Structure 1
Amino acid sequence: MRHVTLAFAFLVLGFGAQSNAQSKHNIQTVFIILMENHNWTGTHNATSIEGSRYAPYINSVLLPMASHTEEYFNPPAIHPSLPNYLWLEAGTNFGILNDDPPSVNSQTTTEHLVTLLNNAKVSWKAYEEDISGTVCPLTDTGEYAVKHDPFVYFDDVTNNQDPNSTYCIAHVRPFTELASDLQNGTVAQYNFITPNLCDDMHDKCKPIGNAIKQGDTWLSQNVPTILNSAAYTNGGALFITWDEAASGDGPIGMIVLSRFAKGNGYENFIYYTHGSTLRTFEEIFAVSPLLNDAASETDLSDLFTAFP
């Protein structure tokens, strides 16, 4: 009986240590914003972000106070959009090289980030622009593109592609709810933010008619809400990146803002991919195993003074 009691106590202590591991970390809340289809630097002047006159907020406001890297790439030869979103969630594209919907590309595996988080009792939400919030958004609607919403490609999130899945509906929410969640202190610990096709630099839309300027304007209108929130100031980190390059594999942008980031315009030239970002998030939230490519990539810790 004594052995059973000791074994039970060990299990309780073990689970407690695992569930409390992230509480010892500096970074408590993560926000990631996904932009679209632009190189960070290079000869592609019309589609490059760094130094672009169409991106004054990124270049003149964010970069001087952020850390960023000059050598962040989408995984080699991984195109178009969907495979890169899946890579950020699972460290692999599952062999997918198209943008087909979940009805074609759904995955049965539970080995992906938000399920690891959920199992570790780490809260998560995806904020998707242009969804209703009344159904699990398994198809395109308005300027919402399902290919930019990786979570609905996993059957354990959607209850096998059920548009009425309560778990999916509770976690994949309209972007319009982010501001009130921040104000009310109900934001999740991991927050994946997807602007719509006009606001993420994917399409040219009226009245601006310039994809880079549209995205830069959207960031200027929405990033301050995050930066001024208690969730950000009390241990938050905001990552802004792009899904893939417009030409080749990059480099693409990765901008990090946090009180724990080196900031002040710090830049490095370390090679990173989306596997690096996934590894970084797993380390921040103390979940394992490192998923697929995340196990072999360098994390983003060099962009921080204190990590995780």
Structure 2
Amino acid sequence: MLRRAAVLACLLLAALTGCTAAAPTPSGTAPAPAPTSSPSAAVVTKVLVIVVENHSLVQMTAQMPYTFGLATRFGYATRYTAIRHPSLPNYVALVGGQTYGITDDGGPSANEIRSGASVFGQAISAGKTAALYAEGMPGNCSLANGGDRYAVKHNPWAYFAAERSLCARYDLPIGGLDATIAAGTLPTVGMVVPNLCNDAHDCPLGTADTWIRGWMEKLFAGPDWASGHLAVLITADEDDDSPGNAVLTVVVHPSQTAHVVTTPLSHYSVTRLLEDVAGVPHLFGAASAPSLSAAFTLPIGASPQG
């Protein structure tokens, strides 16, 4: 218990000051199992971002043993912060480089982004691929809540009106993700959003941790991981309203080995990474955001065009 308390204290200090000590897996939990294959650290040409809900760095490290096991095996950031509260502005920031002035969780009818590009649209315009997989969503690019605990506020592509036709084709219910993983056809730029239980919004963090484990085991068994070209990021949209808005952000790629990054990063750093991998210009806040690929020394396969 004393060791665990010390670990969590260091993580809290890291979020505020940049403590550089690597935290071990929480006492009493098994580390994340090794992937079934051990690909060499190839160039990253695909990024899949998994987003959970409303928990702080300290909460996530203490209550998500599998996910934190991935963090300590591969890499994680100790000074990564969300943009603001509530949820929707953070999701929009992740894929749009800014919040577009959104301050609430209203649906697309209240918060429609009439002009502006997302990283998904950017990638497709550049000849790359993009997709968002939403658990519980009743149909492609659903603009309203429904289905199995689907919340449109967690589906940022649905808010970009100028890309609505692309959203209708590539913003998909999660049911097809298994086949995509098995075929090795994950997109250049991808995002996975669980439903309101599996993202820990309405259910415990342990539920989200188990859900992530199920998908990560499939990803580790797939061709994209075996090739070494796939990087998986796990983060949270925002914290629990604790000061600092610090969340756990994990980077899973063969180039990472127990890598603890203390560089200040944010959701705009993820925007920048997705754009760098797609080889497209940086949107708004992504242009000045600290580079996540540089912080983690991720080998990426494209350079931004401007």
In the superposition, relative to structure 1, how do residues 305 and 186 fare at CA in structure 2: closer, same or farther (>3 Å)? closer
**1:83 and 2:68 matched:** no
**1:57 and 2:55 matched:** no
CA distance in 2 between counterparts of 1:89 and 1:195 reads: 17
CA distance in 2 between counterparts of 1:196 and 1:94 reads: 24
Q: What's the % identity of the aligned pairs?
A: 28
2:77 is matched with: 69
CA distance in 2 between counterparts of 1:201 and 1:287 reads: 33
Secondary structure of 1:237 counterpart: strand
Contact 1:199 1:215 survives alignment (8 Å): yes
Contact 1:107 1:153 survives alignment (8 Å): yes
Q: Which AA in structure 2 matches 1:127? A: Y
CA distance in 2 between counterparts of 1:272 and 1:94 reads: 20
Q: Which residue, out of 280, 284, 289, partners 1:292?
A: 284
Q: Which AA in structure 2 matches 1:67? A: G
Contact 2:65 2:209 survives alignment (8 Å): yes
CA distance in 2 between counterparts of 1:269 and 1:238 reads: 19
1:189 is matched with: 188
Q: Which AA in structure 1 matches 2:56? A: N
CA distance in 1 between counterparts of 2:134 and 2:219 reads: 15
Where do residues 74-223 of structure 1 align in structure 2 (5 Å cutoff)? 74-75=82-83, 78-133=84-139, 135-141=140-146, 142-159=148-165, 167-204=166-203, 211-223=204-216
CA distance in 2 between counterparts of 1:118 and 1:187 reads: 14
Q: Which residue, out of 49, 71, 92, partners 1:32?
A: 49
Aligned-residue CA RMSD (Å): 1.6
Contact 2:270 2:292 survives alignment (8 Å): yes
1:304 is matched with: 297
CA offset at residue 110 of structure 1? 3.2
Contact 2:271 2:286 survives alignment (8 Å): yes
In the superposition, relative to structure 1, how do residues 307 and 124 fare at CA in structure 2: closer, same or farther (>3 Å)? closer
Secondary structure of 2:54 counterpart: coil
CA offset at residue 125 of structure 1? 0.7
TM-score, with length taken from structure 1: 0.79
Contact 1:233 1:259 survives alignment (8 Å): no
CA offset at residue 233 of structure 1? 2.4
Contact 1:29 1:232 survives alignment (8 Å): no
CA offset at residue 151 of structure 1? 0.1
Structure 2 unaligned spans of 5+: 1-41, 302-306
CA distance in 1 between counterparts of 2:236 and 2:65 reads: 17
**1:282 and 2:291 matched:** no
What is the number of residues matched between the two proteins? Answer: 256
Secondary structure of 1:114 counterpart: helix
2:35 is matched with: none
CA offset at residue 250 of structure 1? 2.4
CA offset at residue 145 of structure 1? 0.4
- Deviation readout 1:31-64 (Å, 9 max, x if unpaired): 11001111102xxxxxx111x1x322123x3123
Runs of 4+ aligned structure 1 residues displaced above 3 Å come to none
Where do residues 3-42 of structure 1 align in structure 2 (5 Å cutoff)? 26-41=43-58
CA distance in 1 between counterparts of 2:236 and 2:244 reads: 11
- Deviation readout 1:85-105 (Å, 9 max, x if unpaired): 000111111111100000111
Contact 2:52 2:236 survives alignment (8 Å): yes
